Every structure is written in C-alpha cells, then in structure tokens.
Chains A and B, each alone.
Chain A
C-alpha cells in the first residue's frame, strides 16, 4: 500500500496563474482533506471531500476549489495565484469520520 500520495512534490508558478495539485488517498479511504501550511506555521484546513462533494470548508477564498473523483482521488485547484499562496499543501485521507488521518508528503508551491 503506497499510503497517501501527492503530486507534484514541488512546483513553481507565476503570480496570476492557475495550479492543480493531486492527491491519491490510502487504499480503503474515502475522505480527503486539504491543508495549507505556510512556512513556520501549523497547517490550516482548506476543505474536505467525501462522496465526491465538498462537505466542509475552512476560511479560504473561492479561488481555492477542488474535486473528488469516483476512485476517491482528489484535486485542489487554485486560480489567480498570489505570492501569499506559496506554501506546503498537504492532503490527508481517512476511512471514515472517526478514524485517524494519514498525511501525504505534501506539494511545495512557490509563487513568484
């Protein structure tokens, strides 16, 4: 079992561009959550997907959107990138609401 995998591992984008990050959950997990971690800070909850729907959302603008596919994998899209969007984006999956979350290695996004 490969665990939670994220791609790409590193990414550099220009301000104003759009980016798509991908996450494959651990086998058997149906829930995916996305987090943004700025340098030196704890992760911040972006949103959670379950049954292909956004179930919960943190305090992030509409520029942040996502999708979950029938195979439970997920994408995070960020439009009109700002310099402040530079961060480590973490994906976590779990097999249900009360189970522990498994984290991916993250995608480090740099906006220049």
Chain B
C-alpha cells in the first residue's frame, strides 16, 4: 500500500464547478504539500500545511492531522486549472529531514 493515496485519479469538471481532491497518508508527517504539475513536467508548490486550513485565491487546502487526511478545493474552476495535482508528505524523521513521498496525482480537466 502506498504511503500517500489520492482520489480521484482522474476528474473532469465543467467550468465554474467546485472541485475537491482528497489525500490520505499512513505515516507520521511534519508537513503536507499540494503541488500542481502542468504538461511538460514543471511542478509548482501550491500549499504547505502542517495544520488547519490555507487559502490562496480560488484554492483552499485543509488538513486533519488526527485523521491523516487532506483536501484541496478549487472554487469556480476554470480551464486553466487543468493540470495534475499531487499530494506530497514530508515524513517525520527528525531534524534535517527533507524526504518527501508523493501520491500518484489527480488529473483534472476543466471543460469550458
């Protein structure tokens, strides 16, 4: 079983819809990242969370440490949001740890 599981694997939405992508993990973590990967491979870090909730524009990320679960929400989705969204966790292995483990990604397509 992967340490980081994402759902759904693929998601197609109409422009304007509210989108939720889920991430569950099975290891102790010091932080969780939501990443966006566009065709061609470049990765952009959207959020880094260790507790609670963060909001940036139309994007909202939440994390529940007790349940080992995080969600990424996109409000008023737009075709330019089409990308692969990846959940990644930094496993807690003491100070000076940068070992990140990644989910397989959720491929989002937003149709006009």
Mark A residues whose CB is within 8 Å of B: 31, 33, 35, 37, 40-45, 48, 50, 55-56, 58, 88, 90, 92, 94, 97-98, 100-106, 108
Q: Does B76 contact A (CB under 8 A)?
A: no
Q: How far is the CA of A43 from the CA of B86 in the complex (A)?
A: 9
Contact A43 B33 (CB under 8 A): no
Write the B87-103 contact mask toward A (1 if CB under 8 angstroms, else 0): 01000010111111111
Contact A31 B42 (CB under 8 A): no
A45, A100, A106: the one contacting B42 at CB < 8 Å is A106
A37, A45, A97: the one contacting B96 at CB < 8 Å is A97
Q: How far is the CA of A94 from the CA of B40 in the complex (A)?
A: 22
A106-B42, A108-B41 known; A45 and B30 CB under 8 Å?
no
Q: Does B27 contact A (CB under 8 A)?
A: no
Mark B residues whose CB is within 8 Å of A: 4, 30-31, 33, 35, 40-45, 48, 86, 88, 93, 95-105
Contact B99 A42 (CB under 8 A): no
Contact A42 B41 (CB under 8 A): no
Chain A residues whose C-beta falls within 8 Å of the C-beta of B44 in the assembled complex: 103
Contact B95 A97 (CB under 8 A): yes
The distance from the CB of B18 to the nearest CB of chain A, in whole angstroms, is 24
Most buried by A among B31, B86, B100: B100
Contact A33 B98 (CB under 8 A): yes
A45-B99, A90-B41, A106-B42 known; A98 and B104 CB under 8 Å?
no
Most buried by A among B4, B35, B42, B43: B43
Q: How far is the CA of A20 from the CA of B93 in the complex (A)?
A: 29
Contact A48 B98 (CB under 8 A): yes
Q: How far is the CA of A102 from the CA of B35 in the complex (A)?
A: 10
Chain B, Cβ-Cβ closest to A108: B41
